[in-house]
Amino acid sequence: MKRIFLFLLTNVAVVAVLGIVASLLGVNRYLTANGLNLGALLGFAFVMGFGGAIISLLISKPMAKWSAGVQIIEQPRSADEAWIVETVRKFADKAGIGMPEVGIFEGDPNAFATGAFKNSALVAVSTGLLQGMTREEVEAVIGHEVAHIANGDMVTMTLIQGVMNTFVVFLSRVIGYAVDSFLNKNNENRSGPGIGYMVTTVVLDIVLGFVAAIIVAWFSRQREFRADAGATQLMGRRQPMINALARLGGMHPAELPKSMAAMGIAGGIGKLFSTHPPIEERIAALQNAQQQG
């Protein structure tokens, strides 16, 4: 419940701030005496949609550190920490990206990568992952996370989320205005949007938001396959990634906080809202690629 509450609280705060900014800039003045100003509405939807997504991206790294309790490895204090840092450095150099920050967090087997830019990202692994896997398997997991960074997945997800958010805000208000106009077509004393507009807009924000989430989750599942393949390229072979996924499937990795779940290694249940494909499908994809290669 903590991760869900944190996610909802963050989004409510971002939307509230953006609403105030939009009011100050006047981009929310899309309801006029002559009807709906579609240009102004599109501007408002764009600010709300992309603004929320971009702000979430920019704060992704500090939020990840705080919500997961990540301890950044400034100076390795053990052979294991030194090995983790060196492994990340090796893969980052091979992938052609800047050296990410490297951190460890307490918890069951999992890992994630996050950050707004390729050359200043964060890779973090859990203590459970380090304790429950062989070094080769941990190396494959780290390679998967570095592949996410090299593929630009954080930025791509932000752009897709921004587009979806924009459509949700735009369509909900256009349809809300149409419903309100129909309900008040015989009301000559109407001076502005009525209850029909407000109720319809709120309901459609929720309904269309779920549709948008399904689309974003579908894309997220596709990029997991690409990150798995990226890890095999960084390591030069597929079996370590296959072994790591198989072990994770038996470990039942803990869920990450919602704000970084899309960047985690954990396999999902394969449903519409899952950001990760089932581990079985990911292993099968690697095995098929191995046979074809």
The set of catalytic residues is: 145
CA-wise closest residue to 142 among 106, 118, 112: 112
Beta strands in 40-129 (DSSP E): 71-72, 101-105, 111-114, 122-126
Q: What are phi and psi for residue 21, nearest 5 degrees?
A: -60, -45
Token code pair at residue 170 = 């735009």
CA distances from 76 to 72, 73, 91, 166, 168 (A): 10, 6, 18, 44, 46
Core vs surface per residue 167-188: b (16+ CB within 10 A) or e: bbbbebbbbbbebbbebbeeee
Distance CA 197, CA 264 (A): 39
Distance CA 145, CA 17 (A): 32
